[in-house]
Each structure stands twice: as C-alpha cells, then as structure tokens.
Structure 1
Amino acid sequence: MPGATYVPVGGPGALGGLPFVAVVCWATWHLLTVTVWRDSADPGLGFVWLVSFLLLWWLPVCWLERPAGITEAQRPGIDRLRVTVQIPVYNEDPHALRACLESVLAQSRRVQRVRVVDDGSADGETGEPLLYAAERAHLLAQAGRLGIEATWDRTENRGKRWAQMHVLADDDADVFVTLDSDSVLDERAVAEGLKPFADPRVKSVAGLVVPLNMKTNILTRLTTVLYVPFTRGLRSAQSVLGSVLINSGTLAFYRADVVRRHAGVYERETFRGVPMQMNDDSMLTMYARMEGRTVHQPSAVCFTLVPDRTRHYFRQQLRWMRGTTVRHLWWLRHMPMSSLAFWMPVVEYAHLILALLVPVAVLTSPELRQQTGSLAQYAVVIGCAMNYLISLRLFAIRRTDETLGHQLLMFLLSPLAGLWRLTVLRPLYLYAMATCWQVGTWGTRDRVEVRAPAPAR
C-alpha cells in the first residue's frame, strides 16, 4: 500500500504561484479598465467582480497551515491516550475492507481498540447477507497477536450513525477515530492525528484524504484534482482559524467525551421529519466546534477509494451536496453570527449568486453585450490561472506511488477540473439544494460500488 508525506511548503511553494498571480492581476486589470470600466459602461459589474475575489479569502490563508507538533514534555500525555478506531461497514468490497483493517493494525502508534460494525450488508441483487467471514477472522486473529482489543458486530441496516453509536456510546476511550471501510491509513496517520490533542482546546482533528485509485481512469484523476480546493484549501484555511466545519468521515479524530455526550441525539437527527443519516461527519464536527477548536492535521494521511463510474460518482455527489445544504441551514439557524460557521454558507451562497448574476448582467447590458468576446477571453484567462493557483496544493503531498511527472500531469488537468466544476457540479449543486430533503440511510452502496485490486500472493 502507498505511503504519503506532507510537505508544508507545498513543493514549488508559494513562489510557484507568483506567475499565476501576475496573470490574474494583469487580466483583471485589463478586463476592468478596457471593457467593464471603459467609458463607465458598467462600474457596478466591476465592483461585483472584485468582491468575488474577496470571497476566495481561503486561497492565501491555506498556505499558512502547518502540521501540529508536540514537545517531549507533551509526548507522555499523547502516548497515554486510549484510542478506539470505529469502522462502519456496509456493502464494502472485501479486498478494500481487508486493506483498511491491515492499515489500522500496522500503525506506528498502536491503537487500543478496533470496533467494526457491519450494518446488515447484503447483496443488492440476491438479498443474501455479505458476512465477511475471512476479514473478520483475520482482524480478530491479528489484533489478538498484537495485543489490540477487537470486536466485530453485525446489526440490522439502520445507517452509518447507528452503526457508529452501537459501540461508541459506551466505549471508555479518550479519543475516537472514525474511519470509512474503503480507506487505507498511512502508517503514521494515527500518530500524526493525535498530536493536535496536546492542546486541550482541540476537540476534533480532520485527517487529510487523498484518492487511492486516482490512476484508474480520467474520472478518478479528475476527482483527485477536484478534492484539492476543499481538502487542502478551504479546510486548511479554516484550520488556521481553529474552526474546521466539516471533517471527512474517511478519517477524523474526536475527543471521546464530545461524542458520548451526544449519543441518542446524533443518530436520531431528522430533517423535515425524515431521519437524517448522511452528513454524519459535519454533525460530529459541529458538536466539537461548539465545545472548542476543530483543526486539520495534513500529516495524518488517509487513502480512500473514489467512484470510478459516472453513475456512482453522481450519486455520491448528490448525497454530499444534499447533506451540505442541510448542514448549512443548521449553521445559519443555530450558530452565532460572530462564528465562521454562520458566515461560511453566507459566503458560499453569495459566490453562487454572483456567478449566476454576472452572465445575466452582461447579456442585459447593451454596452457590455458588445464586448462579450473580450469579457469571455479575459474570464477564461483568469479562470485558468485561478485553477492553477488552487491546484498548486497538489504538490503538498508526496506519495510513494506517484512520480513528479504524474503530479505535473494532474496539475495540467486543473482547467479541465474547473470547467467540470462550473458546467457539471454547479448545476448539480443547485438541483441538490432544491431536493435536499431526499435523505436516506447510506445514500449509495445498494451493492459493492468500487473494488480494490486483489492483494498480491
């Protein structure tokens, strides 16, 4: 399995972004002075354009993030933490599940417990139970040899949250690690993920998620680039402020008492009277944020399988987008106006509205309509440069299964990822917002969706 190392300066570092910053400044100046502000055609549109840049506040701030470290005086306290890893399983590929379990047992900082809960996995076509007998036996045998307590329960299908709280509600650990069953940990992931807890104010830690199967096809490569703005951009900037708003359920660490205090409520969340089982990660993060700091530890790396077929990809995106919409409504209703959690959805929706209004303003203004070609050219130049700026964060991770040449290839895909985000994901997001009440137990995986390669023998 691959390993990964976080590079704080991001490979080329901030200096690598200077040419793209220069291009953005040049193109923006020409767009405003030669077209939008020429003869005072529409000064208001120029103001809107500048505001849209301010909404990308996170782009420079994310470069300030550094992994948390610990002193020798703090190390004994971190070493004493009792850690439980909880893995909910539902219709998972057996090879992927085996890789996940082995990565947990191979951690450089050994955990105290591994608690697997199979949420009633069953074949979507035959209805026959998927029992994972070999994987269960392997876990219990290997954990026993290592002195790690391991349990494996099977429950009726009720959703991920019920699977988690089935064991966490009464677990006496100090730190809970939530891990998806299709995820593979870098061997230092747990050791790195625990370091921020040396600060008693920290209540949760988000791990850094990277696609495991990025080289499968163009969709998985595109997904890898699309992950960057959130996993190494917005989340990193929020972490600088101690206010990460959405951990990834793929890998996250929580003070166990925060989770235990919300047992019985967390798994029973409803939206418009419908049980809310998706977006579990943002709910746990919100609990943690209400009690203290929530941060991101980019050196705690986790590999995950991403969809390699369009049908699965769009189903996953819809599930995430609908869950995010519901959580935005929660933040606007329950979080104080002085908090980042309140203003993040405001900024996101403002950006979305501006992106819709600018084309309308251009087409309805006779002066600007005559300059549509020039406006489009400058917009394309600015868009490409901004996407390259964002994607410089690709170089913040060095993977053992990736060459520099492949990193450069992924970097070159940045404008394509931006186009995909604009023409495909944005309309899908609007649809998800309009249908956000359609929530279910898992949302995907009525059968095994993505398969990991079989281990070599």
Structure 2
Amino acid sequence: MTRRPGTSPTRAGRAGPGLPGARYVPVDGKGALGALPLLALVVGWGAWHLLQLTVWRDSTGPGLGYVWLASFLLLWWLPVCWLERPATVTDSEQQGIDGLRVTVQVPVYNEDAQVLRACLESVFAQSRRVQRVCVVDDGSVDGVTGEPLLYDAERAWFLDQAGRLGIEATWDRTPNRGKRWAQMHVLAEDDADVFATLDSDSVLDEHAVAEGLKPFADPRVQSVAGLVVPLNVRTNVLTRLTTVLYVPFTRGLRSAQSVLGSVLINSGTLAFYRADVVRKHAGVYEREAFRGVPMQMNDDSMLTMYARLEGRTVHQPSAVCFTLVPDRAHHYFRQQLRWMRGTTVRHLWWLRHMPLRSLAFWMPVVEYAHLVLALLLPVVVLVTPELRGQWGPLAQYTLILGCALNYLVSLRLFAIRRTDETLSHQVLMFALSPVAGLWRLMVLRPLYLYAMATCWQIGSWGTRARVEVGVSPAR
C-alpha cells in the first residue's frame, strides 16, 4: 500500500491584514541517525562522571560529581526527541480518517477582533474541511468601560461564510464562567468523532487539521498535540526570547514524550481529542477545584490526563498552529505565573492518579529533582573544603557547561524551517540560547518557586482582563 507522507510542506492560510503567511517544512532524514551523536554525548558524559566517582576520585570530591551526573541524566529527553517522526497513514487508513466527523471549538474572551477573524478564516481555509465550528464568547467585556464587548461584525461574517462552505456553525455568548465552561457549552452534547480545541488568538496552518488527524489511524491514540509556534516572533526582544524558550518544550520534551506515547500536556492552542474522552468527563472537567477554589486554568493538561488514562497521547509536528505570545512584560509574567500554578496542581494530580510505572508519575519527580539540584549545588560547594576556594573555576565551568547545554537544546530550532524568517534571523535566535537559559534560571525558576507556594491562587482566564495582544504590521 502507498504510504502518505507526514512531512509535506505546510503553508498558513490567508490570515488577514498584518498577519504573515509562513511555510513550515519538517527536516527530513533518519531521526535515529540524528539522535545517535546526542545519545553518545549523554552516555559519554554520564560514564565520565561515573568513573570520576568510582575510579579516578578527582579533587572535586564525590558530592559535586553526583550533582553533575544527576543533572545531566535528567536531560534524558535531549537525544530521544530527535527520534520523533510525524505520523503517516496508508491509503486505506486515510479513508477511515476522512470519515471522521470533526468539531473545532473556539472559546473567546476579550480577544482582539482582527485576530479572532484571522483565527476563524484559517479554520475555513483548511485543506481538510471540518464538519462543525463552535464559537463561544464567554461574556467578553471592554476593559476600559466595562461594557459588553460584542463581535457583531465578526459573528455575521462567520455565520455567512460557514453557510457558503456548508459547515455547521454556532456562535453563542454566555455569562463569564471560564474557559472550560465555554468549551463544554457545546462539546458535551456534540456528536463528533474528534474534537479540536483552538485558542482564539491563533492561526492554523492550512494543513493543520489534515495532519493532526493522522495519528488517530492508530486506535490506541486518544489525543494529538499540534506544533505551536509564535506568530509575532519579530515584535520585540521578549517575543524572540519566548520563541527560544518554546523550543525545549514544544520541539524537545514534548517530542520525547511523544516517542513514548505519553505526551503529558497538550497545548490548548491546538489539540485534538477523541470525542468520547471529552464527553466521558463532561460535568466533572469544568468543575475541577483545588482547595475548594474552582480551577479553570490548565484545561489542556486536564484533558490530556484524561486521554492518557485511556491510551496513547502523541505530538504531531506537522500540524502547525501560529499563536500570539505576550509582547509586554506584565502580560508575560501573569501568563507564566498562571501556567506555573496550574502545572503545580497538575503535578499533584499525576502523582495521585497516574500509575507508578507511567512517565506521568515520574515527570513531577524529575521536575522537583531539577529544583533541588539547583539549590543543592551551592550548598555542596560550601560544605566541601576542597571546593570552597574554587569558586572562580567552578563558576567558569558551570557557565561553559550551561552554554553548551542550552545550545544543544536549541538545535531543535533547526528541526523546522519557516519561510517568513531568513537564515540569519534563525542563527540570531540560536545565538540567544544562553540568554534564554540565563532567563530561565534567574527569572523563571524563582517565579516557579513562588507559583508553587501560591498555587491555590487560581482564576478563570487570568490574563484576559482586557484585550492583551493585538495585530501589528508584519516586519
């Protein structure tokens, strides 16, 4: 049987004024061969430190050696992520996928009208047409006047365009209750085979749906994470930094988890679920609470956990979605704090509900081990007499090692190419890797500790008190 490729070039559909189109081409080649040098590096590094601890007994002492060894082994996902390949299907499997009924659900709250229209245009422009699109406005309000924020023009256009294309469409406005209630307003009773969740500040590549459905040819797969990349990458230094920080998760850790069939957090920006998984938990999902406080954040990780309990959860790197990321510091930090608090709660859920043998159970352990090691390193230096007088060399060694590891992680920037950025810009982004690593260590890690200590302070939309990110002309 002919096998349909999963790595065909993809192009964003017409996105509206000021929103650039882009083409993503997943780099071809043998993933295993690409992973071998990284795997050899991990094994070699670990063996070197193990020999130091057991045979050579160098002057740094065993305490610091254990820290280095553990730190490096916790980066197990670095070589594994290169083994990821987009799912492909045979002709007969494609026929089954073509028969799936797909509903796209778009929750809206205080969204820029132009961005919202671009989002919906990209849904209508899909090469694989969906059967239904549901927009739910969760009581949007004008952040200045407090008056209802209505999208009359966008709603009229949306319903008219859907009618022309023969796509079922609904647009409802509900009282403000949070993203999960907006999602389940229509999904609980929908008869689709697959639900696609899409954030209203995002634009789909024109083949995103077609590619995102391919993994469902495997009946074990219960959810599929799309590849999310920043749309407004060139706005300022913050959006560029955010892009570099996205890489270790979207093209690194998530890819490695996908190789194991155990993606733990789909991005709510674009994710696909077998509809039965979502319907099964209707009425519970939207009522999740933590310490008696309703929890509307981290909807994506909750749905992913439901799916993982039912079967495999994977990532499809050829299902591309472009999203607007924060371009101002106050928006960025509020978003990060919301994500971190939600992730802390989800870690507790994984430890409680996931099997001991599962990756989901051990990922929080690994995360907390990273935090402990970061705090342990200076303690080891202080209590080890041989090390107390070597602050300078140790700091230099740590700096060199940190830069090397950050560059190793950011090699994933070159695993996908986009035509709306030049090679020189891509190299510049790669050069920012140590800066991103320093930002993660000095800013995001302390913020994460604060988020863990205040994880019960959870809200509904969190960063949508008003329209946060608008559209600026392409640069």
- Settle same-fold status: TM greater than 0.5: yes
User: Residue in 1 aligned with 2:198?
Assistant: 179
Distance across 2 between alignment mates of 1:222 and 1:113: 36
Residue 39 of structure 1 deviates from its aligned partner by 5.3
The one-letter amino acid paired with 1:157 is N
Distance across 2 between alignment mates of 1:371 and 1:91: 54
Per-residue deviation, residues 110-156 of structure 1 (Å, max 9, x unmatched): 00111000000001221111111111111111111111111100000
Range with greater deviation from structure 2 (425-434 or 134-143): 134-143
Per-residue deviation, residues 419-440 of structure 1 (Å, max 9, x unmatched): 0000000000000000000011
Structure 1 stretches of 4+ moved >3 Å: 8-34, 37-41
Residue 24 of structure 1 deviates from its aligned partner by 12
The one-letter amino acid paired with 1:92 is E
Per-residue deviation, residues 196-241 of structure 1 (Å, max 9, x unmatched): 0000110000000000000000000000000001100110000000
Per-residue deviation, residues 273-332 of structure 1 (Å, max 9, x unmatched): 000000000000000000010000000000000000000000000000000000000011
**Partner SS for 2:146:** coil
Counterpart check, 1:353 vs 2:369: no
Counterpart check, 1:137 vs 2:156: yes
Quick one: which of 280, 299, 304 aligns to 1:261? 280
Counterpart check, 1:209 vs 2:240: no
Q: Any residues of structure 2 matched to 1:179-198 within 5 Å, and which?
A: 179-198=198-217
Residue 73 of structure 1 deviates from its aligned partner by 1.1
Range with greater deviation from structure 2 (106-115 or 360-369): 360-369
Change (3 A) 1:13 1:389: farther
**Partner SS for 2:222:** strand
Counterpart check, 1:106 vs 2:130: no
Q: Any residues of structure 2 matched to 1:2-401 within 5 Å, and which?
A: 2-9=21-28, 40-401=59-420
Residue 12 of structure 1 deviates from its aligned partner by 12
Residue 449 of structure 1 deviates from its aligned partner by 0.4
Report the identity percentage.
80
Q: How big is the alpha-carbon RMSD for the aligned residues of Structure 1 and Structure 2?
A: 2.6
Distance across 2 between alignment mates of 1:388 and 1:204: 31
Distance across 1 between alignment mates of 2:353 and 2:360: 9
**Partner SS for 1:205:** strand
**Partner SS for 1:73:** helix
**Partner SS for 2:338:** helix
Structure 2's unaligned 5+ residue stretches are 1-19
Distance across 1 between alignment mates of 2:81 and 2:39: 17
Distance across 1 between alignment mates of 2:251 and 2:462: 26
The one-letter amino acid paired with 2:344 is T
Change (3 A) 1:234 1:203: same
Distance across 1 between alignment mates of 2:145 and 2:205: 36
Residue 101 of structure 1 deviates from its aligned partner by 0.5
Change (3 A) 1:18 1:200: closer
The one-letter amino acid paired with 1:350 is A
The one-letter amino acid paired with 1:352 is L
**Partner SS for 2:435:** helix
Distance across 1 between alignment mates of 2:247 and 2:32: 15
Change (3 A) 1:11 1:339: closer
Residue 453 of structure 1 deviates from its aligned partner by 2.9
Change (3 A) 1:156 1:344: same
Quick one: which of 449, 456, 463 aligns to 1:430? 449
Per-residue deviation, residues 380-416 of structure 1 (Å, max 9, x unmatched): 1111111011101011222121111111110000000
Distance across 2 between alignment mates of 1:19 and 1:66: 17
Answer yes or no: is the 8 Å Cα contact 1:193–1:253 preserved in 2.
yes
Answer yes or no: is the 8 Å Cα contact 1:23–1:385 preserved in 2.
no
Structure 1's unaligned 5+ residue stretches are none
Residue 22 of structure 1 deviates from its aligned partner by 6.9
How many residue pairs align between the two structures? 455
The one-letter amino acid paired with 1:105 is F
The one-letter amino acid paired with 1:336 is P
Residue 23 of structure 1 deviates from its aligned partner by 12
Distance across 2 between alignment mates of 1:242 and 1:20: 20
Change (3 A) 1:131 1:299: same
Answer yes or no: is the 8 Å Cα contact 1:388–1:415 preserved in 2.
yes
Distance across 2 between alignment mates of 1:20 and 1:206: 25
Distance across 1 between alignment mates of 2:394 and 2:364: 29
The one-letter amino acid paired with 2:161 is Q
Q: Which structure has more RCO (C-alpha within 8 Å, separation ≥ 6)?
A: 1
Given the two structures, how large is their TM-score scaled by the length of structure 1?
0.94
Given the two structures, how large is their TM-score scaled by the length of structure 2?
0.91
